[in-house]
Amino acid sequence: MDKYKTKMTINKWFSYISLETLSESSRQTISQFNRYSKKLTFKKVLKLFLYAINDETDSLRHLDQQLVNPKL
């Protein structure tokens, strides 16, 4: 799968996720996560995990290797 189809697939999956309709405690947890991390927001983490699912990545270590060296 090329990068454009992957990007479209992830954006389509993410469009079905409505973070605004979550419970108040979930939204507070997400805001605490975003407050704690500076560059890696909850939405970015969610998209990263959707990419890993789409690419059928075996582990977080393998995902890290893929991000560092995209030829893997």
Task: Give start and end residues of each alpha helix (H) in the chain.
Answer: 3-15, 24-36, 42-54, 60-68
- Domain assignment present for residue 26? The answer is no
Q: What is the mean pLDDT of each run of 10 residues along the chain (72 residues)?
A: 70 82 90 84 86 85 82 61
- Is residue 57 within 8 A of residue 66, CB to CB? The reply is yes
At residue 72, the pLDDT reads 56
At residue 71, the pLDDT reads 66
- Domain assignment present for residue 20? The answer is no
Q: The whole model's pTM is what?
A: 0.68
- Domain assignment present for residue 25? The answer is no
- Domain assignment present for residue 22? The answer is no
Torsional sign, CA 41, 45, 46, 50: positive
At residue 4, the pLDDT reads 61
- Domain assignment present for residue 28? The answer is no
Total of domains in the chain: 1
Q: Tell me the residue range of the domain where 54 lies.
A: 1-14+37-71
At residue 70, the pLDDT reads 67
> Residue 47 is encoded by which pair of tokens?
């998209």
- Domain assignment present for residue 30? The answer is no
- Domain assignment present for residue 24? The answer is no
